[in-house]
Structure 1
């Protein structure tokens, strides 16, 4: 893979290229992507979507919006480090200062939209949608035939392996109606970067060693577009190199933020953090336990009212810098294999940060994600999403099908769906077979539900079940 091709500024709507050459607008193509994203309603909705704690009333705890801003910031920092490495060590004779700037801007944008397709209620929302399809597809019929016999294998696999990453690609390319059906019409380099798993639902290997096959990266409905994009950038069937950097930025953001938020919420005691960190041997580069302990002692000596809070917040900032350095090392040490498409791990593998990242994940899992409080929230969230899936899927199966009659409830359920999403369905359904149209109508439901904020999903459920 070559950077001159990987950083493709091409867009689906080609007439945009001519507008971008106007001398009155000095922004690069990737800077224009940034302004399109932050001005979009889809991006704004992230302020009311869960990161860890659903519908939290605290103004400190992170939402998807604040998480995305953090990922964007870390991504840009990593881009600066890695771009400078390529220049300094002449890893690519054709690499320029402008390319370094382009990498930073692409990662800045990718961080903002990497979670833009996630449904309400965080990652549990993805699980709830997947499980609904797994449990109910075998019970649904279409014209008297089981839906499992109507849809092809990939369509069925798409639904049972529903994934927010694939939904993000779909949202920004086809569902965000600004000018026309081309979505946000973002650059190919950016679109390729946000696809963490460049495989379809029939090629995933969740338990395999290759990180790019862990989950689905795009749906059957969007595969043709993805193939066009990845061919243009030269990434082909491999991960775009910037995807590794985006993933590292995401890992840094959520692993450290989960600890800080859990501590502030009272889920995670300071003593537990100190105890687990104490077990780590991170080498001479960074002594995690000593840093946290010394910061606590400093806070006590200074007479801070909340020495534990002071120590943890300052420690989080320090380990974020450490993790950025380690991710940079992970990329530069494996530069050749990443550019050849053969690297199969994340950027922290084999670095001084690997064990620290594992401990941070363990702490969040033990003290937050598997607690009764979170479990109770998730049970309630599952009930909301299950109800919405049942009602909207039942209506969608009959929608736009002259052979089936919709009753009054079906018509009302479809009326709730965003007009933009319904228009997108009709554009995509033109000339398609009955099976493909049915598949697209099922995606219409997930498109709509994924576009909901946490508050809207909860409110709609309450209104439809008369729970005021």
Structure 2
């Protein structure tokens, strides 16, 4: 892979009739991407989507919006480090300072949209949608046959392996209907970067040693565009090198934020965090446990009002700096393998941060995600999403099936779906057969539900079930 192709500024829709009007616009293509994203309704909706704590009323804990801003920031920092490394050590004689700047801007944008396709209620929302399809598609009929016998294996697999990352690619390329069917019309370099798993649903292997095969990367409906983009950038079936950096930025953001949010919410006592950190060795340059206790003792000596809170919050900042350094090392030490498409691990593998990242994930799982409070929230969220999936999918199937009669409720359910999403469906379904249209209509339902905020999904459920 070559940076000159990897950083492709090409878009789905190119060219302007009046280029002379833009002579004063000195922004690069990737800087323009940034402004398209932050001005979009899809991005704004992230402020009301769950990161960890659903429908939380606190002003402190993260939402998908604040998480995405943090990922964007870490991504840019990593891009600066790695771009400077490529220049300083002459890893690519054709790599220029402008390419370093482009990398930073692409990662800045990628961080903003990496979670933009996630459904309401965080990752549990993804699980609920997948499980709904697994449990119900065999019981829904079309033309007198169950959907499992009507839809192709690839179509079924798209639903069984439903994934927020694939949905993000779909949303920004097709569903964000602004000018036409090209969505936000972002650059190919950016679009390729957000595809963490460049694999179709029939080749997903959650147990694979290859990191890029563990989840779905793109739907059948979006395959042609993905191939066009990967051909332009020269990645083929490999991950874009910047995807590794984006993933590392995401890992740094959520694993440290989960700890801080869990402490502030009272899920994670200071004593429990210190006890877990005492078990690991992160090397001489950064001792995770030692730094935490030094901060605590310093806060006590200065008579800080809340020494434990002071220690945790300042420790998080130091950890993030350490993890940025380790992720930089992970990329630079494996530069050749990454550029050849041979590297199949995350950037923390083999670094001093590997064990720390595992422990942070374990602590969040133990003290937050496996608690009764979170379980109760997830049960309620599952009921909301399952109800919406049933009502909308059944309406979509009856609309498609000439052998089934739609009732007044079905027609009202379909009327709720966004006009923009319907326009996207109409464009994509042109010239397609009945089964392909059925597949696209079911996909339209997931498009609409994934576009909901937490509050809207809850409110719609309450209104439709008369639970006011």
TM-score using structure 2 length: 0.99
* Correspondences of 1:150-189 after superposition (within 5 Å): 150-189=150-189
1:287-302 equivalent positions in 2, closer than 5 A:
287-302=287-302
1:412-455 deviation line (CA, Å, top 9, x unaligned): 00000001111111111111011110000000000000000000
* Cα pair 2:143 2:401 within 8 Å, conserved: no
Contiguous gaps of at least 5 residues in structure 2? none
Structure 1, unmatched stretches of 5+, are: none
Matches within 5 A, 1:73-92: 73-92=73-92
Distance 1:58 1:143 in 2: 49
- The equivalent of 1:106 in structure 2 is 106
Aligned residue for 1:399, secondary structure, equals helix
Deviations 1:69-118 (A, max 9, x none): 00000000000000000000001010000000000000000000000000
- The residue aligned with 1:265 is 265
CA deviations 1:200-233 (Å, max 9, x no partner) are 0011110111000010000000011001000100
**Alignment length (residue pairs):** 468
1:220 aligns with 2:186: no
Cα 1:152–1:403 shift into 2, 3 Å: same
Q: Contact 2:172–2:183 at 8 Å: present in 1 too?
A: yes
- How do 1:78-157 and structure 2 match up within 5 A? 78-157=78-157
Give the equivalent residue in structure 2 for 1:321: 321
Partner of 2:384: 384
Q: 1:404 to 1:430 in 2, by over 3 A?
A: farther
Q: How far 1:285 moved relative to its partner?
A: 2.1
Q: CA deviation at 1:19?
A: 4.3
The alignment partner of 1:202 has SS state of helix
> Within 2, Cα distance between the matches of 1:20 and 1:137?
54
Alignment partner, residue 374 of structure 2? 374
Query: Conserved in 1, the CA contact under 8 Å of 2:117 and 2:169?
Result: yes
- Once the two structures are superposed, the pairs formed by residues 230-269 of structure 1 within 5 Å of their partners are 230-269=230-269
Partner Cα separation in structure 2 for residue 98 and residue 414 of structure 1: 48
Offset of 1:150 from its aligned partner? 1.2
Q: In the aligned structure 1, how far is the partner of 2:335 from the partner of 2:22?
A: 36
- Separation in structure 2 between the aligned mates of residue 302 and residue 226 of structure 1, nearest angstrom: 56
**Aligned residue number for residue 405 of structure 1:** 405
Contact 1:10–1:17 (CA under 8 A) maintained in structure 2 = no
Conserved 8 A contact 1:11-1:188: yes
- 1: CA distance between counterparts of 2:401 and 2:367? 49
Q: Deviations over 1:349-375 (max 9, x none)?
A: 000000000000000000000000000
2:7 and 2:21 map into 1 onto residues whose CA distance is 17
Quick one: distance in 1 between partners of 2:350 and 2:17? 42
The SS at the match of 1:102 is helix
Q: Distance in 1 between matches of 2:338 and 2:6?
A: 13
> What is the CA-CA distance between 1:299 and the residue it aligns to?
0.4
Cα contact 1:74–1:249 (8 A) shared by 2: yes
Shift, 1:406, TM fit: 1.7
Partners of 2:109 and 2:29 lie apart in 1 by 11
> Contact between 1:285 and 1:352, CA under 8 Å: does it hold in 2?
no
1:60 pairs with 2:84: no
Q: Using the alignment, how far apart are the partners of 2:17 and 2:305 within structure 1?
A: 57
Aligned 8 A contact 2:278 2:289 in 1 = yes
Between the aligned partners of 1:19 and 1:383, the Cα distance in structure 2 is 52
Cα root mean square deviation, aligned: 1.2
Would you say the 8 A contact 1:171–1:183 is kept in 2? yes
Deviations 1:317-355 (A, max 9, x none): 000000000000000000000000000000000000000
User: Counterparts of 1:311 and 1:18 in 2: how far apart (Å)?
Assistant: 57
Query: For residues 336 and 403 of structure 1, what CA distance do their matches in structure 2 show?
Result: 58
1:279 matched residue in structure 2: 279
**Structure 2 Cα separation of the partners of residues 114 and 16 of structure 1:** 28
Q: Normalising by structure 1, report the TM-score.
A: 0.99
C-alpha deviation, 1:24, in angstroms? 1.2
The structural deviation recorded for 1:398 is 2.2
CA distance in 2, matches of 1:307, 1:181: 54
1:15-44 Cα shifts (integer Å, max 9, x gaps)? 259849942110000000000000000000
What SS does structure 1 have at the residue aligned with 2:422?
helix
Dislocated runs of 4+, deviation >6 Å = none
Equivalent positions of 1:34-53 (< 5 A) are: 34-53=34-53
SS state of the match for residue 467, structure 1? Answer: coil
Distance 1:372 1:165, change over 3 A: same
Contact 2:142–2:401 (8 Å) recurs in 1: no
**Aligned position for 2:462:** 462
CA distance in 1, matches of 2:268, 2:4: 47
Q: Deviations over 1:232-288 (max 9, x none)?
A: 000110000000000000000000000000000000000010001011111112111
Give the drift of 1:400: 5.1
Which residue number in structure 2 is paired with residue 7 of structure 1? Answer: 7
